[in-house]
Every structure is written in C-alpha cells, then in structure tokens.
Amino acid sequence: MRILLVEDDFRVAAAMISMLQRGGYRIEHAATVAAALSAAPCDLVLLDLNLPDGDGVDVCRALRARDPDLCIIAVTARGEERDRVVGLRMGADDYVVKPFSMAELQARIEALLRRTTRTRRSAAETVEVGPLRIDYAARTVQVDGRAVTLTRKEFDILASLARQPGVVLSGERLLLDVWQTTWSGKHTLQVHVGSLRAKLGRADLVQNVRGVGYRLCVD
C-alpha cells in the first residue's frame, strides 16, 4: 500500500514516515506543491495544506480531478470550521488538525482504506492480489491458478489481510475482524494462520511481523 506524504516540516515528516513504515506502508515524501503533483500514483495521500510554494487545497483539487477514487486525508494546522469545510468540499475524505495523535491518524488511515477497499470489492467481488485470486461472494481462493480449500476462519483471516496488502494488522485487529472478539487469544490465531499457510503452499504470503502482527506479502 503506497502513501504519498505531502509535508514541508521535515521533523514532522520524519516522525510520520517512521510510524507509517512500521505499519507496513510504502511512503513517498513530497515537501512542495510541485513535488506532490509530479509524484508517482499512490493509494492514499496525507496532505498538509500549508506548503511553501502554494496552497494544499489546490493540490487536493488537482489530485481529486486526476483520480476520483484516490483516498485523501488533510493533515493541517488549519483548524477553523471554515477551513475544514473548504478542505472537505475540495475533495479531502477526512480532515485531521495538528497537533494530532499518531495512533488516531493511523486508525483514520485504516478506516478510510477499509471503506474504500470494501466499496471496490463490492463492485468487483473477485479480486486478484499477487498470486491469489479471491472470490468473496463464493468464498473461494486460488493460488497460482490452483484451487485451495479453506475453513471459514482461514478464509476470513486471508480476506481481512487481503483488504490491505502489505499492511501489518495486529493480532487484536484480526481477532476482532474474524471472531468479533479478542477473548479467543493469540494462540488460536497462530494455529489458524499456521494452517492457512500450509494450505496456501506459500508460507511467504502470510508474514509474521514479530511483536506487531501479520501482513499479506505479495511483492
């Protein structure tokens, strides 16, 4: 999952990049309007509105015109109601005012990507992620064209990871997604992930990030 971070304060940018990379995101940093508009395509943009060579609102408008489905979160010191209204009307999906909590920002990123992925998946019930082909309606999975039979929980774990390929999901998050509770414990999750890996025949697809969680690795 690629994120474009548009932020001219390099100290703030360094802290955000560190946090996002720990979550499994690939980050491109731009500090100016010109750099933001010439950046490579991405899945989500974190956009400071106060930039040295122009207004971030204009960047937001341009990016939205270029890609109507692009996820954009304005991250700015402009906290007045009028500023928030303008930012959202110009195309931002969410609006975060500085100073902000890194944990809250990450939660907002995950929520936005989850909603977007769910919408895209509803439009196309079958998705392809690396060697995987997942039919959400039929609940079937293929790996390199080979059909794989999964239990209900194994499918739900894989489906949850596939919603955000490359992003590390915590054990607690997977337990909530699949079991709707955390009481089952991490041992239960480990057992199901082990079985899932064996059935996929590609242990490298579901990667354990020690002390953090799991991610679907398809690079």
Mean pLDDT for the stretch of residues 145-151: 92
**Mean model confidence pLDDT for the chain:** 86
6: alpha, beta or left? (left if phi > 0; alpha if psi -120 to 50): beta
- Say if residue 141's pLDDT is above 90: yes
* 123 pLDDT higher than 60: no
pLDDT tens track for 75-115: 999 888 888 888 888 888 889 999 988 888 888 888 888 77
Average pLDDT over residues 23-38: 91
Confidence of residue 183 (pLDDT cuts 50, 70, 90): low
pLDDT at 72: 92
* pTM (2 d.p.): 0.61
Determine the Cα–Cα distance for residues 175 and 169; give it in Å rounded to an integer.
10
- pLDDT digits over 48-67, tens only? 999 999 999 999 989 888 88
HSE-CB at 102 with a 13 A cutoff on CA atoms is 12
What whole-number distance in Å separates Cα of residue 6 and Cα of residue 45? 7
pLDDT of 166 > 80? The answer is: yes
Among left, alpha and beta (phi > 0; psi -120 to 50; other), residue 180 is left
